[in-house]
Amino acid sequence: REEIPGTAPASEGLSTTVHVLTWAGEDELRSPVPDSSAAFRLNPNRWAVSDLPVTVWFNPSGAPPGIVVEDLVRNALEQWSKVPGSAFAFAYAGTTTAGPGACDFASRQLDGRNTVTFGTTLPTGTLGITCAVWAGGSNGNLVEFDIQLNANVNWGRSDSLGPGQFDLASTILHELGHGAGLGHPCTGSGSCTDAERQAVMYPSLRAREQRNVLQDDDKAALAAAYPGAPQGGSGTVGPFRAVLPGVGRD
C-alpha cells in the first residue's frame, strides 16, 4: 500500500498520510514494458513557501553499525535541495533524541520536528515509512513529517552491498521525497514503465538495487510542486544550508 490515511481528532484539525516503501525479491521477474517518460505524481499536501527551507533532524538510535547514516541523511537532503527549477530546500538541524511522534496514531505526539529515525516494529517487507501531517482541508499545507526506517532490515552501503542487503542511501532519499510532498510515480504493478522503475520515488526496492541519485522524473516532480529559483539565489543552485539546533533559519 502506498498511502494509509489517518485522521487526527477534529479539534486538532490535523490529518496524516503514511507512505510505505516495500522491498522486492532479489530475483523478482519483471514483465518487459515499453520505455517512456515517467509520470510523476504529487501529493495534494505540500509545504508553504514561507516554511522553506524545511528543517530535518536525525535520531541515530538503532542505526546499523558500520554505516555513517548521518552522512547519508545529509547527502539526501542536499540532493533534494539542489534541483534546478525548484524553490524547495531542506536544512539539516543535527541529531536528536526525538522519536517519530507523527507515526504514533494513538497519542499523536507532534513535536514540531521532522525526524529520521529507526524502529523495530515495522512489518516484514517494509523498508521505511513516512508519516506526513497536514493542517486544514484535503489540500492543506504540510506541518510535520517523521520517517521510520526498519531497524530489522539487513542494510548495506551503496559501495559494498552483499547478497540480501538493501541500500540504505536509496531508502532515505526516497522517504525524504515523501517528506517534500511527492508521491510514487506508479503503483509498482506490471504496468510501470522502465523509466518509472528507475525513479527514486518508485514504490519498492530490490535487494542490492541502488536508486540513490535523483532521476529526471524526481526532479521534474519537485520543480512542479515548488516552481521557482533554487534557494541559493536567482537562477543558480545555491549551497546546502545547515541549521543548528536552537538557531533560527537563515
Q: What is the CATH number of the domain that holds 98?
A: 3.40.390.10
Cα torsion 208, 214, 216, 222: sign? positive
How many other β-carbons are positioned within 10 Å of the β-carbon of residue 204?
19
pTM: 0.84
Number of domains in the chain: 1
User: If the chain, 250 residues long, is cut into consecutive pieces of 10 residues, what is the mean pLDDT of each piece?
Assistant: 38 74 54 46 90 98 97 98 97 95 78 95 93 88 96 95 95 97 79 83 93 94 91 37 26
Domain limits for position 185: 14-225
Q: Does any domain span residue 231?
A: no
Q: Does any domain span residue 208?
A: yes
pLDDT score at 38: 53
Q: Residue holding cell 485522521?
A: 7
Q: Does any domain span residue 201?
A: yes
| Integer CA distances (angstroms), 168 to 68, 171, 195, in order | 10, 5, 22
Q: Does any domain span residue 27?
A: yes
Q: Does any domain span residue 235?
A: no
Q: Does any domain span residue 218?
A: yes
Q: Does any domain span residue 234?
A: no
pLDDT score at 64: 97
